[in-house]
Structure 1
């Protein structure tokens, strides 16, 4: 097989020449939090690989004020210092050649700006409870190419070096970096010098530092490693849960990998403004506040679970990604796919009562199938290219499909061989860089199985198969139902399927969809009604059928039969798929008709018994899954028109407005969603005020989501204006616009708002950070007509955004797919709802 059938260029064309490589940085920085600038100096020890008269490194938005190169203590003349703004490169043209094997020191002085784009060395605003006066901290986000915005450097994954960091800060502030502070010196002028220990050999994207008002709590692992949670003032106690998870996860990984964590401390810092969920900087992991902080009085079980998952993910990176790093960004999955799988493995060990592997099926397995079912998808391993192109691969394919493929490998070779292979891989390549073949080699040694031959069919080509349950034949699945191209029709995958009770792919172990003949589907639906399958397999049947129907491989009305057979379904996992199926059917049902009335009755009938069982109050015998399921079904029940549920939600919301601690945290998303869905101008104003006064980012996100649930166009337009105002942090704009876009009454409003504000949106979110792609996709994917697809296509033809072109391509495919789905499904779904099967007694 041609592993990259479309051809590719060598990654070296996108990299520095490699004639010199760094071994050690001595970096000094002084941020000014008043005028939002910084100055600095760096000495870089380099080794010459090939004779050269040019030293080329990276710099972006950095003003170099002085430069020198020394060899053996003697100055090497510099003829010119040149910066290529487009390539983000800094060239030192020398008057003499450096010879292969020689060592030299590059010294640079520079200045820069603490930007507001959550990338590089940037500023973040916050307030404390005692004062509404905004305060500022400075922090970093260097993945993928942000380090060059903080200091001139060799900003590539393979250019690993040691780092000595020194920060000059006001005496009243604190600072942290990857390593512990070695010494602090009072400079006698209101400043202090903080010198940190030498880091391990690592990539520039893993360097980090934060300067500001910092509070902390700490603990130690059984081996004595200090673990801390760092916050802005007044929030440190909300780090207790994450601290416990962090300590236990670190111990778990040390035991599982049989490799001690190599740094003396591990900090986890909550940053008020943060583009991603978290960043795995070695020894100083940075997080969004909502991904790290838990308030026992106000946080839900879902938030605690997310914090545990994110903490476990980032700590897994301390081995996968930090100790052993991918060679180039086209191998990103080696970092992210493994961390995705490992997060579940660790959390399952720490919280077995959560049954977290069930949730993997919805959160990652199904997400991978949805994203990779697009024709515009990409392979897990993509052809090497520029970092700008590679950045767009921080997506569900690299994370969720990558994690799902790892789950397949684990099942294929068994847990012991898998663990042994990982240990071999980590020890063999410690402090180095790898490609996928290095991992396959280690797993093959441990298992004796041809891992590479099998898994290359999953990592080196896009997509996945739909399997005919009768014949076992398979072909590539496209959710759009579009005809396969000649190349797509030839694709083949290697996998094994087991069957149970007539259902293929038992346990959803393979990353495939399975289709059955209509009569077989009817038999399976009857067995679903009888609960003859485990929850994982019931989930798989619902998820497969709804996507097969969208693609034209199964009759759309079968979804309604399966929904009806799921009356009283007790599983949270299965209800995640049922909710998606209800959402798929909704746009097929003509509004204001008898069919819509029958659909609402059907939905309430499916929900009634599980809502009655769970009710509003927590029970002593509630499982973790029950706690998660209760708000999901209550919110659906209210939105599908159950008046008693709406009345009770309004009552509880009224009490909450008077006493903000009275509403049980696990119910808040449901209550806010129901009252917004059925509410008017007064409720909108109340939720907006609650957002403004909320102190916790978790609570703000709940209110922001609810503000997208209103049914009146004018209120949704008010939400859009609010989201785009200074009242909402830039990090939350994509989710705020996305909440409006997901609302059938708001999808076009959100699209028009994005288009009208595009210039400022692009300045704020790109190029450089992943938020722009997320925003574009969140807004566009909920449109649903061919005309809207043409509008979007024309808009980006007139306003090109190369940094988001993959997001635009995916969105266009989803828009056209939705339009096709409505055309294909409206008639049979309406007929079913108006026929005898659609009647609910």
Structure 2
């Protein structure tokens, strides 16, 4: 699934700025540098997964009976299903509910003698007595009883006799369910077209919601063949994983309907099933495989699906070559849904997307919107082999599935758009992003034991930044030290050997080891031994290099050095670390750090030499140096920055700031890494600096540090703003892909720090738009920053105008920009009203509720309002939105990220206590992480406030 549940992909949509015009009150207000960025993070994936399952069951099974266990017994193996479903796209005239009816026959083999059938079923009402027939000569035993076990979500059938090992049986069920708007299982999505409400019946099965559509063995290892038939209204189109093989009109229960029959699927897992009924438009390319894009008719007719159609073929062909495996299906359908909890979902042959992740408009979409579409399409297409053709046995290995797709999405997108040079951006979007979480004592390893991941909410909790971004980061490191040819050779044999089957992550290590052995690639340890240390223990090391003595050492990096790591590690939190390094810009032979400390003579340097390790940030670790080497690196940045690769200029900044947070270097050293930026025009170093300065804004935007900090940042960014003024005169966009992102950075930061030439620009643009709403004069790349700035500077008139434009926007990405910018208001009553809107799906779609609250909390004016709102409404939020529309981990982290006082810490602990009876679902770990982060923030502010204040005051004078 695409990265979308959590945090951000900075790509694409710019950060948000507060401050338009020379209005003094606006300059006095703080706005988080990257509010829309956090929105995009929310959707990432960058994004994929935002769904959270509310725990409706006790945390421990009440007995040892099979139906009280969370895992299916290994007694039955499904082989194939015949499933017929009939979604009603009009509400029942009596109840007002939308429903679906259906029947399912599953043929399974008995592999262990049993008198019990357990099959998953959740929120389904059986309309007839289930029946069991034998496919062999021995009759099936009659039923003794059957019932629903709602806690563990089973249909439980007790038999009079035992099933025979080796025999096949067929279980037939007929049922009804609600076609609810909960974004999980078989659900409904709604939208308006030409003033008429339209309803789509669609699905989101991952991870445990296929059981809401029909009774099934709903575990990834229980692969089977599925024969799907859909009944639907005349004039609508039905889609599923397979191609349509029959479309006929018929009469069922006295109702005239269309029946669409689909070809049998390949052997596959239930979570990859999809079936959709809509009256969407379609564009297609008749090649092999057939490629089709479905979306709302007006989106298709206005060309919003064209980019996706054009890019899908090249990305598919890239992966066929990369995997050395032909795409295994005859078609690749992709559909954009108005309501969808994730960023996208890799259903085999029928990939579902949020509209923002698939639809692109040349006139109104930003550069970042385009990149997001390309990378998410690449992510989902990568899954068609890695995840769908070969599937991990259980959810504890989710990280390999999602981490792999999160890595190779950059390769697929780079192949389709080589001019973007996108592959390096994984460092900003994934490596740096996940470092912040993995440096907490409350982090978790990539891979857990199967018994630690049992309940649906435990499974949902795994769809986090660790699984996606750390998974991508360590696999990128693995590919680098093996070399790409060896990595792909092992990958190809893995996919060939396990096609249509299930694996555990060590199966990939075994195939990679075979490739290492076949090619004679030198490694200091076997692949499994190296990678176990990165996969089975949480966190990562900081590698410290002393250029005076040549000593290289490693230590578990923790943002709060006083935090206690309670999780034991078989490896004592030591790693096998590959180190690529340069001396004065000259490449040296890589070094492996296989112990806690080693001495290497070549790491010594004299007063004229600087050493830089982790070139291109291919290693998943941070680097610290002795003070003399830091000084030489600072001097190199100021005097010869081009001798340091762009990606490592970003690394130096990010490492220094985080080492300072961990009290391993002085905070002034970190701040000094930003001084050279007045002569920097590249995106990656600027983005790294702004991301880290964002923490300073969070900690200090309510203190006396804020003014001097604004003055320093304003002076720092002014040359960048002037650079793009000369380059584009703000009437055009920069030419390069990342240059366009940095143009946005220049605008939003210059405006947020009160640069008059910037604020007058944005104020003029927004006023022009308000006078003529049908013509938007603002460049798509700049809209997020301009919208936020204008709304912050304005009042109810500007807010209401933006709200009306949001409600009428026909392009989802444009609506998203406006939705995020509405949170930039500086009038508390406007923000309180907006918070109330998040609980009304007619105003804010359920899929966007979490992101909107986080956007409001990112505004210094809205932070306390959002926190009060979440606390006051937690029971309602949890019970009403637990089915899929709220990401509780994101929500808790988002509303508490500014916490830095003892009072806020006590509030957070009280919130945990007050709601322990309600629960936190997939936000359970986030509560602990927020408490840990707040504790660290308190200590950091206490130690650094006075030093930081003085530094900014002095630096603002001398810059």
If the length of structure 2 is used for normalisation, what is the TM-score? 0.84
Does the aligned pair in 2 maintain the 1:380–1:398 contact within 8 Å? yes
| Equivalences for residues 264-275 of structure 1 within 5 A | 264-275=330-341
CA apart distance, 1:509: 1.4
Distance 2:562 2:276 in 1: 49
Q: Deviations over 1:99-134 (max 9, x none)?
A: 110111111111110122100111111111x22x32
Distance 1:597 1:772 in 2: 34
Distance 1:769 1:600 in 2: 37
Alignment equivalent of 1:507, drawn from 606, 616, 631: 616
Distance 1:435 1:309 in 2: 26
2:71 maps to 15
Alignment equivalent of 1:729, drawn from 845, 855, 876: 845
Alignment equivalent of 1:458, drawn from 534, 556, 562: 534
CA apart distance, 1:806: 1.4
**Alpha-carbon distance change, 460 to 439 in structure 1, aligned in 2, over 3 angstroms:** same
Alignment equivalent of 2:945, drawn from 826, 830, 836: 826
Higher deviation after alignment, 702-711 or 403-412: 702-711
| Equivalences for residues 15-94 of structure 1 within 5 A | 15-35=71-91, 36-65=98-127, 66-72=129-135, 74=139, 76-94=141-159
CA apart distance, 1:618: 5.7
2:296 maps to 232
Does the aligned pair in 2 maintain the 1:68–1:76 contact within 8 Å? no
| Equivalences for residues 438-517 of structure 1 within 5 A | 438-448=507-517, 449=523, 450-470=526-546, 471-485=551-565, 487=568, 490-500=572-582, 501=584, 502-517=611-626
CA apart distance, 1:589: 4.5
| Equivalences for residues 135-534 of structure 1 within 5 A | 135-188=198-251, 189-221=255-287, 224-236=288-300, 237-384=303-450, 385-386=453-454, 387-448=456-517, 449=523, 450-470=526-546, 471-485=551-565, 487=568, 490-500=572-582, 501=584, 502-530=611-639, 531=641, 532-534=643-645
Higher deviation after alignment, 647-656 or 595-604: 595-604
Higher deviation after alignment, 781-790 or 492-501: 781-790
CA apart distance, 1:392: 0.3
- Three-state SS of the structure 2 residue aligned to 1:182 is strand
Does the aligned pair in 1 maintain the 2:299–2:811 contact within 8 Å? no
Alignment equivalent of 2:709, drawn from 580, 587, 599: 599
In the alignment of these two chains, the number of paired residues is: 827
Does the aligned pair in 2 maintain the 1:631–1:669 contact within 8 Å? no
Alignment equivalent of 2:833, drawn from 699, 703, 718: 718
- Three-state SS of the structure 1 residue aligned to 2:186 is strand
Distance 1:769 1:97 in 2: 43
Correspondence 1:608 to 2:664: no
Q: Deviations over 1:651-697 (max 9, x none)?
A: 11122231433221111012112213333333222222222222222
Correspondence 1:559 to 2:670: yes
Alignment equivalent of 2:811, drawn from 696, 712, 731: 696
Does the aligned pair in 2 maintain the 1:252–1:346 contact within 8 Å? yes
CA apart distance, 1:411: 0.6
Identify unmatched segments of 5+ residues in structure 1: 1-7
- Three-state SS of the structure 2 residue aligned to 1:708 is helix
Distance 1:213 1:451 in 2: 51
Does the aligned pair in 2 maintain the 1:741–1:748 contact within 8 Å? yes
Distance 1:181 1:760 in 2: 42
1:537 maps to 648
2:47 maps to none
CA apart distance, 1:641: 1.0
Does the aligned pair in 1 maintain the 2:680–2:720 contact within 8 Å? yes
Correspondence 1:134 to 2:197: yes
Distance 1:778 1:590 in 2: 16
2:54 maps to none
| Equivalences for residues 774-785 of structure 1 within 5 A | 774-785=890-901
Alignment equivalent of 1:584, drawn from 695, 699, 705: 695
Higher deviation after alignment, 248-257 or 718-727: 718-727
Distance 1:93 1:598 in 2: 73
CA apart distance, 1:766: 1.3
**Alpha-carbon distance change, 607 to 673 in structure 1, aligned in 2, over 3 angstroms:** same
CA apart distance, 1:802: 4.5
- Three-state SS of the structure 1 residue aligned to 2:226 is strand
2:14 maps to none
CA apart distance, 1:707: 1.6
Does the aligned pair in 2 maintain the 1:298–1:661 contact within 8 Å? no
Where relative contact order (Cα < 8 A, 6+ residues apart) is larger, the structure is 2
1:5 maps to none
Q: Deviations over 1:139-195 (max 9, x none)?
A: 000000010001000000000000000011111211100011110121154311111
CA apart distance, 1:619: 5.3
Distance 1:475 1:97 in 2: 58
Alignment equivalent of 1:786, drawn from 875, 885, 902: 902
Does the aligned pair in 1 maintain the 2:337–2:355 contact within 8 Å? yes
**Alpha-carbon distance change, 361 to 590 in structure 1, aligned in 2, over 3 angstroms:** closer
CA apart distance, 1:782: 3.3
Distance 1:407 1:394 in 2: 19
CA apart distance, 1:789: 2.4
Does the aligned pair in 2 maintain the 1:381–1:460 contact within 8 Å? yes
Distance 1:104 1:38 in 2: 26
2:685 maps to 574
CA apart distance, 1:323: 0.2
CA apart distance, 1:360: 0.8
Distance 2:295 2:647 in 1: 39
Q: Deviations over 1:591-618 (max 9, x none)?
A: 685x544322221221112211112536
CA apart distance, 1:768: 5.5
Distance 1:39 1:485 in 2: 51
1:816 maps to 935
Distance 1:754 1:802 in 2: 12
CA apart distance, 1:367: 1.1
Distance 2:422 2:734 in 1: 19
1:839 maps to 957
CA apart distance, 1:75: 5.0
CA apart distance, 1:484: 4.8
Distance 2:934 2:647 in 1: 30
Does the aligned pair in 1 maintain the 2:223–2:269 contact within 8 Å? yes
Question: What is the RMSD computed on CA atoms of the aligned residues?
Answer: 2.0
**Alpha-carbon distance change, 102 to 536 in structure 1, aligned in 2, over 3 angstroms:** same
Distance 1:810 1:432 in 2: 36
Higher deviation after alignment, 738-747 or 431-440: 738-747
